[in-house]
Structure 1
Amino acid sequence: MRAAPALGPGREAWIDVAKGIAIILVVLYHAIMYLDEAGLAGALAPLNPLFDTFRMPLFFFMSGILAASAIRLPYRQLFRKRMSLLLYLYITWVTLQTLFMLVLPPISTSGAPNATWASLVTLFVRPSSNLWFIYALPLFFTVAWLMRRWPPLLQVSLTVVIAVLFGAQLLHTGSPWDKMGKYLVFFIAAIYLGPLVRRRVPFVRWWHVVLICLGYAGLVVVTTKLTLTRVPFVLLVLSALAVVAGITVAVLLTRLPAFDFVRSLGSRTLPIYLVHTLPMVALAAILVAFDVRMPPAVATLLPPLLCAGAIMLAVALHRQFHAVPGVFTVPVKSWVGMPPRDVIAPTRKVNLT
């Protein structure tokens, strides 16, 4: 079996494949969630929480691997190179999504409001439930930069404690802050474990993937059935195993040309993440407004179809508007460019990493 190909210096193909897996699962999660609000998620609705330990831990671990060199920059360069775009897009797209949801009829059969004007005022205090990830990344970069001179073991140990407290709900805010508390450890750990992971990737074989995935799936079923997810360290262990499973699956898929589309999606996670919920809330509003009903077997097919459609729409919109300043980029290039005296060359494009 051939080794995973590289995309260039320091950027192996399996990294984008892993990100592609993560973004597909995030989009599918929201598709199930919004269709369930309309009562049309079928048999997939109760299965949605089972992947909680997989999606975001994998996403943040891959982001941490790609952040290792950035945190060695002076903070001003780090902000301009890796954070300013994300913060701009967070503000812009939270505003856009909030306004979009405010004009829609209810997307839930309960008739609850889709959004409130207050969410625009509190977007940094109570992060957006849809877009919190791109707000978390600048915060995680800042934390990693502040701790950069601490011993790695101390950094990981501290974030493990935070993850355990939030995972066991000993710390609980009822907002995306809980998720940030649970997943910071994966970002920090990846910064220091990245070189080891990269060295081990070429040795991954198909039977490793099978054994690890079966072990992860079995533990998820057992812990869910026995309601052990709030027991300290259980979620952390499951999430760590999910990261290993996700990476090994990504390596395997990299060796199969038929799955190159997953790598392609992994290189476009930012526009997909920003756009994908818009068609979902629009469809949910239509389904609720017309009181659409369908058999559970048919409803079960809707989330995967909506997931695929939302991804294709996001990719198409990015292709159409990527060159328009302020849509998927900052409106002023100098916000992310480096001044002449900086040693880091200007970057035109910042991926969601």
Structure 2
Amino acid sequence: MTRTPVPTPVPTPVPTREVWIDVAKGIAITLVVLYHAIMYLDEVGLAGALAPLNPLFDTFRMPLFFFMSGILAASAIRLPYWRLFRKRMSLLLYLYIAWVTLQTLFLLALPPISPSGTPNATWASLVTLFVRPSSNLWFIYALPVFFTLAWLLRRWPPLLQIALTAVVAVMFGAQLLHTGSPWDKMGKYLVFFIAAIYLGPMVRRLVPFVRWWHVALFCLGYAGLVVVTTKLTLTRVPFVLLVLSIFAVVVGITVAVLLARLPAFDFVRSLGSRTLPIYLVHTLPMTALAAILVAFDVRIPPAIATVLPPLLCAGAIMLALALHRQFHAVPGVFTVPVKSWASTAQRDVISPTHTVNLT
């Protein structure tokens, strides 16, 4: 009697991370941290020559960040809403509430950052955190809002979704719609999240064809457009900001693809795989330093002050990563306090080519 051979089980392929996506996220989070470093140092007059340059990258930072988030959301919006909520939204909403509370308490404990003595925060911000989102942590809140909108619109023609959100972006960009809160930014950037959901496959197909001269041309073109629109004060002209932001996303992606091929820039990929803790923590040391500088009335020559924002940016990132290393296993700090609140089962991994990782 012959035995029937037992088939050898084939291991399930483990999803791999697309390096260029992490590099793009690393570029975006670094620019976000640098933006806040310049902003807080400028509050006390110590940003040097970088202060007037800060607004120039408004069309770069968040459009790139939201486009990368949208690329990774394409499969998620096909889930039932309860699974989408547990897989992609519950962690973000919990962290938004927890860290807005922590940052508010931290700001209330600090001496005033503003030289005029204006309070750093108010207790009311804890009551209105969903109505008037936090100016520092609004991105964490925007993602669940965008996921929900993308899920609700998922059966609409993609072109219609992109067109409607582009109109909303133009109206907010030209300040035809204006709330004076982070809702304005959400209105400007929703189009990039929605567009990436449907354009992501095309972008992935084009990535292997990117060459260094593409990067050079796009960078020069974007820089030229930014200078022209700034000099001629065209930023409130309808469609100008949207066009610049689209150009910026192309620049960000091509630069990320090029850097992903160079081992020397692997640290950027590493930052891109840890954007969440960096985003949550980075403003804490900045606000503390600003309060100290105001309290002691520190004065520094402009030439020296110009190097402070990059140094503060690097220091804030290193502190955030160090705190994440120390506390990542503590429930409720960078994770939900109760595991059942968020789904982490292997069957819920929804991206076939990129590990589902919000950090």
Per the shorter chain, which TM-score range? Answer: over 0.9
Superposed counterparts of 1:167-186, under 5 Å: 167-186=173-192
1:89 aligns with 2:108: no
Alignment of 1:265-304 (within 5 A): 265-304=271-310
Long gaps (5+) in structure 1: 1-7
Encode CA deviations 1:280-324: one digit per residue, 9 max, x unaligned. Answer: 000000000000001000000000000000000000000000000
Distance 1:26 1:306 in 2: 12
Amino acid at match of 1:168: A
Distance across 1 between alignment mates of 2:75 and 2:254: 23
| Counterpart contact for 1:102–1:116, Cα < 8 Å | yes
For the Cα contact (< 8 Å) 2:349–2:356, is it kept in 1? Answer: no
Superposition map of 1:256-271 within 5 A: 256-271=262-277
The C-alpha deviation readout for 1:22-53, integer Å capped at 9, x for no partner, is: 00000000000000111100000010000000
Q: How does 1:116-131 map to 2 (within 5 A)?
A: 116-131=122-137
Residue 74 of structure 1 aligns with which residue?
80
Match of 2:232 among 223, 226, 239: 226
Secondary structure of residue in 1 paired with 2:115:
coil
Structure 1 CA distance for aligned equivalents of residues 123 and 283 of structure 2: 19
CA shift at 1:166, angstroms? 0.2
Q: How does 1:228-247 map to 2 (within 5 A)?
A: 228-247=234-253
Is 1:160 aligned to 2:163, yes or no?
no
Following TM superposition, the consecutive aligned residue runs of length 4 or more in structure 1 with deviations greater than 4 angstroms are none
Secondary structure of the equivalent of 1:224? helix
Distance 1:258 1:298 in 2: 28
User: TM (normalized to structure 2)?
Assistant: 0.93
Deviations 1:174-218 (A, max 9, x none): 000000000000000000000000000000000000000100010
Q: Using a 3 Å threshold, how does the CA distance of structure 1 residues 139 and 343 change in structure 2: closer, same or farther? A: same
Q: CA deviation at 1:350?
A: 6.6
Q: Is the 8 A contact 1:134 1:352 kept in 2?
A: no
Measure the CA separation in 2 of the matches of 1:138 and 1:336: 13
Residue from 2, 17, 39 that aligns with 1:11 = 17
For 2:348, the equivalent position in structure 1 comes to: 344
Of 98, 104, 114, the residue aligned with 2:104 is: 98
Work out the CA distance in 2 between the residues paired with 1:145 and 1:263.
Answer: 29
The equivalent of 2:328 in structure 1 is: 322
Over residues 51-83 of structure 1, what are the superposed CA-to-partner deviations in whole Å (9 max), with x where a residue is unaligned? Answer: 000000000000000000000000000000000
Whole-angstrom distance in 1 between the partners of 2:274 and 2:44: 29
Contact 2:21 2:68 in 1 (8 A): yes
Deviations 1:256-282 (A, max 9, x none): 111000000000000000000000000
CA distance in 2: counterparts of 1:345 and 1:221, whole angstroms: 43
C-alpha root-mean-square deviation of aligned residues, in Å? Answer: 1.7
Letter in 2 for 1:133: F
Query: What's the counterpart of residue 38 of structure 2?
Result: 32
Supply the distance in 2 between the matched residues of 1:322 and 1:300 (Cα, whole angstroms): 34
Code of the residue aligned with 1:344 in structure 2: it is D
Q: Distance in 2 between matches of 1:39 and 1:352?
A: 35
Per the alignment, in what secondary structure is the counterpart of residue 72 of structure 2? helix
2:237 counterpart of 1:207? no
Between the aligned partners of 1:138 and 1:258, the Cα distance in structure 2 is 34
Normalized against structure 1, the TM-score is what?
0.95
For 1:39 and 1:351, the matched residues in 2 are separated by 38
What is the count of residue pairs matched by the alignment?
343
Q: Provide the C-alpha distance between the structure 1 equivalents of 2:343 and 2:205, rounded to a whole number of angstroms.
A: 32
Q: CA deviation at 1:112?
A: 1.3
Larger radius of gyration: 2
- Superposition map of 1:136-147 within 5 A: 136-147=142-153
Q: Contact 1:77 / 1:338 at 8 angstroms: preserved in 2?
A: no
Identity, % of aligned positions: 87
The alpha-carbon deviation at position 111 of structure 1 amounts to: 1.6
**C-alpha deviation, 1:337, in angstroms:** 2.3
